[in-house]
Amino acid sequence: MVKGVFTHSSESRYNDQPELRYHFPQRYLKAANACVDDWIVYYSPKRNLGRGTLGYEAIAKLSDISKDVEDPDMFYANIAPGSFLPFESFVPYKDERVGYLESGLNKEDGSVNKGKMGWSIRSVSDLDFFRIVARGFPEEAAILPRADNVDSGRFPTVGFKEEQAPFVFETERTRIEQTITRPVRDRVFRSRVLDAYDSRCALSGFKFINGGGRAEAEAAHIKPVQDNGPDAVQNGIALSGTVHWMFDRGLIGLRDNLEILVSRQVNNPNEIWQLFNEDKKARAPADPSLRPHPSYLAWHRENCFKH
């Protein structure tokens, strides 16, 4: 097993859904197979959304590889349920002090190895993987080792280790694994979803910030975690407390085009409709790649919404 870097673009022509699967051609099959049962990091090749740089966006654990039944030359790298986690902070692929975070991209003259960088799937060392992860969750400074310790080479084989894989420091392994606990996931999910929706309830348009600077809006999972709903922004929506309560209980729902649905079981529909945007549609994130995915909206309509 080895850790990997998987290149993904929101405008990819492949049938990707990063929190569930990664679509790739046969030429990358060997590289993908090597990552089964280990962790990968998603790399974005686009200079988009004003970030001004290329870099890393999320981690996930690869569970298995399956064939694309519709195309014999294509395969799916399937993501272990509950393992996908977006970074709290976008991680540029190059650091001023250590150079490219993937050491394999560094050429002797300091330039980038464009040939390797062009690979859609490539292996990454434990040390490089940890460097990236440590920068993706900056608020974990009290949990993770200091970045300068990592960069100096004091932790040569750390990362999201498996039981059968060798490791050097059990303490460091335990600390790193804490980055994927539920409390951290909840914090990252809330941060990413509220950022996507500008801390504004998608259905009512209300935006309230309390005296401590905390938004009243909550980050709601469309497909709940207990039903294997991933912590992806596309499986989330910003809702005020009352709207969130109704959504979780199936009293309201959303069509794929974000039209609001109100259950027939609601005994005061006129009052409920007064809570929502005048056009009776939910507001989508400014970034279209972050809007609710139709598969999660369909799951909510079929399994939660009270028709």
DSSP reduced 3-state for 183? helix
Question: Using CA atoms, how far apart are residues 187 and 4, in angstroms rounded to an integer?
Answer: 25
What is residue 134's predicted lDDT score, i.e. its pLDDT? 87
Average pLDDT of the segment spanning 149-176? 40
Burial 36-61 (b: 16+ CB within 10 A, else e): bebbbbbbbeeeeeeeeebbbbbbbb
How many residues are recorded in the chain?
Answer: 307
pTM given for the model: 0.81
Return the C-alpha torsion angle 146, 148, 151, 155, nearest 10.
-40
For 251-288, how does the pLDDT look when each residue is reduced to its tens digit (9 = 90+)?
999 999 999 999 999 989 999 999 999 999 999 999 99
Question: Using CA atoms, how far apart are residues 253 and 233, in angstroms rounded to an integer?
Answer: 17
pLDDT(174) > 70: no
Which domains can be identified in the chain, with CATH numbers?
A: 3-179 (3.10.590.10), 183-303 (no CATH)
Question: Using CA atoms, how far apart are residues 252 and 273, in angstroms rounded to an integer?
Answer: 10
Q: Which amino acid is at 214?
A: R
What is residue 22's predicted lDDT score, i.e. its pLDDT? 97
Per-residue confidence at 122, pLDDT binned at 50, 70, 90? Answer: very high
Alpha-carbon radius of gyration of the chain? 21
Residue 195 near residue 244, CB atoms below 8 Å? no
For 60-105, how does the pLDDT look when each residue is reduced to its tens digit (9 = 90+)?
999 999 999 999 999 999 999 999 999 988 899 988 887 889 988 8
